[in-house]
């Protein structure tokens, strides 16, 4: 029998799970049915609190449930590859939190498992599926800015919890993996191209992870990009695409909501700035619907595994540049 509604299971009780509660309960093609923790008591308490039907005291037990079709993997970065592969081998499709993996070998192993078992694996860059991002891509790639010359972006916030896993190098911590991956991914997607050179600077903290990272990249056609990410600066996000005939500013690029505005400035006989309203969706609904399109309709996810591999490769090149002080060719 063909599955028409995807039944989701949460791999852990991570805080970010809450972002998917409303979308999974709003969607007609997705529903939330199970949650797992390393402790049955924790899982059962979580399930009661959030009205989830089934609770499991191990990740393995969730993967063994034949009534679960899709696994959401929000585990710490260093566990993404291991548990995504285990889920795929158990016959599940997987939406895995970003970054998909920490090495190219891990990405390749995930892609190989997905292909061998005929399952969908997608990286959870929610913004990539949102109508605002699709409209930005249409504006830029449709030529309204003329020839693109520069892309700039930023993602910062203050992380002051010394025990946070994002400060643990063994868990894939650091600002670039956690938040710098967003402006990098955004730049690549809006340009529809991959960087050919990368250069980066980082500021490391006591644990050895990067607390701040500043990146520069060169894309084909002499298009340049700059972005920064920082755990020590108050919340600040934006993306800006600069072309020969105009500029587009996106104030809420990474977590857009229902009705967002982007600002298009054009240079004709007279400079003009337009506030363009983009009708959106509740956050994360487009992400779960994209997963349903991929699983039920056979469409490629908005964030393909090849796309995720290219983002990982660029991040690793930036780290190498920061370590060596040299420009890295990709």
Residue 247 token pair = 């500029």
The answer to whether the Cα torsion of 288, 291, 295, 296 is positive or negative is positive
Q: Helical H runs in the chain?
A: 18-26, 40-50, 59-63, 80-89, 104-117, 131-141, 175, 181-191, 285-297, 305-324
Among the listed residues 18, 98, 206, 269, the single catalytic one is 98
Q: At what angle do helices 305-324 and 104-117 cross, to 10 degrees?
A: 170
- What span, in angstroms and rounded, lies between the C-alpha atoms of 10 and 12? 6
Measured CA to CA in angstroms, residue 90 lies from 81, 114, 144, 227, 301 at distances of: 14, 11, 47, 39, 21
Residue 57 token pair = 């005291």
Show Cβ contacts of residue 254 under 8 Å, excluding neighbours closer than 6 positions.
127, 155, 182, 186, 237
Whether 98 is a known active-site residue: answer: yes
**What is the distance of C-alpha 180 from the center of its chain?**
10
Environment class of 199 (CB within 10 Å of its CB; exposed 0-12, middle 13-18, buried 19+): middle
Residues with catalytic function: 98
């Amino acid at each position: 029998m063909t599955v028409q509604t995807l039944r989701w299971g949460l791999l852990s009780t991570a805080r970010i799970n809450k972002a998917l509660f409303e979308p999974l309960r709003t969607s007609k093609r997705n529903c939330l049915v199970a949650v797992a923790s390393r402790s049955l008591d924790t899982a059962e308490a979580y399930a009661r609190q959030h009205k989830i039907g089934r609770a499991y005291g191990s990740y393995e037990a969730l993967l063994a449930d034949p009534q679960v079709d899709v696994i959401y993997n929000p585990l710490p970065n260093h566990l993404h590859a291991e548990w995504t592969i285990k889920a795929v081998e158990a016959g599940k499709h997987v939406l895995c939190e970003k970054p998909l993996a920490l090495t190219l070998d891990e990405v390749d192993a995930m892609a190989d498992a997905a292909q061998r078992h005929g399952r969908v694996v997608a990286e959870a860059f929610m913004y990539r599926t949102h109508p605002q991002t699709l409209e930005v891509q249409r504006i830029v790639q449709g030529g309204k800015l003329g020839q693109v010359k520069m892309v700039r972006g930023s993602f910062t916030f203050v992380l002051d919890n010394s025990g946070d896993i994002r400060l643990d190098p063994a868990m894939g911590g650091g600002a670039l993996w956690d938040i710098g991956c967003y402006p990098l991914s955004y730049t690549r997607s809006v340009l529809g191209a991959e960087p050919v050179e990368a250069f980066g600077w980082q500021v490391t903290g006591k644990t050895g992870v990067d607390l701040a990272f500043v990146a520069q990249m060169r894309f084909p056609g002499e298009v340049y990009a700059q972005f920064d990410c920082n755990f020590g600066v108050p919340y600040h996000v934006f993306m800006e695409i600069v072309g020969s005939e105009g500029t587009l500013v996106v104030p809420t690029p990474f977590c857009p909501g229902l009705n967002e505005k982007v600002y298009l400035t054009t240079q004709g006989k007279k400079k003009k700035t337009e506030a363009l309203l983009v009708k959106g969706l509740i956050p994360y609904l487009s992400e779960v619907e994209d997963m349903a399109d991929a699983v039920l309709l056979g469409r490629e996810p908005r964030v393909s595994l090849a796309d995720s591999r290219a983002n990982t490769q660029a991040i690793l090149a930036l780290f190498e540049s920061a370590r060596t002080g040299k420009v890295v060719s990709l």
